[in-house]
Copies of this chain bind each other. A is one copy, B any other.
Amino acid sequence: MNRTLLLNERKKTLFVETKLTANMDMATMNKLMECATFANCYPRDVVFRQGDPATHFYSVLSGYVRLFRQNSEGREADIRVCGPGDSFADDLIFGGGTYEYHAQAADKAMLARYDINRVRNATSADDGMLARAIAGSLAGQLQETMDCIANDRLNTAVQRVALYLLEQAEGQGSPASFRLSFQKSLLAGKLGLAPEALSRAFATLKQLGVHVHGRIIEIEDMDALRAL
């Protein structure tokens, strides 16, 4: 993992487009930027490990990061996949302590890396804008995470996959087509499935007019998926 302070235009743009900074004024954004460095990750790079003392939180500028927990026998379960604009470990800005999960780059990724202590201090000194931005980000993550629980508990594998495809094809009419933004094995983890189960779900969906060629997905009839 290669760190740098250099702040070029591309980085600045991506930084501004982050969910955390989306509704921030310039002054607040500058305060936050002063707590940040940047990191480039290569696929499978470890960002931090479950149990490490929590020193930084992150925003994804490009690429994908996988958050997962490991049990005592080494089995892994994905908790979240973070893409461009997402932040993670920001739930530790207040509580602190240690990371409760592993974070691993799932692709070539660029990250903004914030010093937790400095951000916490900045938040105390600030007029509230920074704290509101953090609260807003956490609220969004909480909603997504609760959705995930409900989805896991309420829907079968095929239904979860169909729902994911519908979300990805958001705004397109039938027929729709798009490219998966990451590997199928990662998607399986995100949906709480073994890779084989994802593969079988795609096989089932083929009968409903979903065609998969590598990462390219074609959906003949969106309503057929919605009906699941």
Stretch at the interface among A6-14, A29-37, A58-66, A139-147: A139-147
Interchain CB contact under 8 A, B69 and A154: yes
Interchain CB contact under 8 A, B142 and A141: yes
Q: Does A112 contact B (CB under 8 A)?
A: no
Q: Min CB distance, A85 to chain B, in Å?
A: 16
Interchain CB contact under 8 A, B80 and A146: yes
Q: Min CB distance, A128 to chain B, in Å?
A: 4
Chain B residues within 8 Å of A100, by CB: 143, 146-147
* One of B71, B93, B141 near A154 (C-beta < 8 A): B71
Known: A101-B150, A140-B95, A152-B149. A124 touches B134 (CB 8 A): no
Closest 6 CB pairs of A and B: A128-B128, A131-B131, A77-B153, A135-B135, A138-B138, A69-B150
Interface residues of A (CB under 8 A from B): 69, 71, 75, 77-80, 90-95, 100-101, 123-124, 126-128, 130-132, 134-136, 138-143, 145-150, 152-155, 192
Q: A69-B154, A80-B146, A100-B147 known; 10 other A-B pairs, CB under 8 Å? A: A79-B149, A91-B139, A94-B139, A123-B132, A127-B127, A131-B135, A138-B142, A142-B142, A148-B149, A149-B192
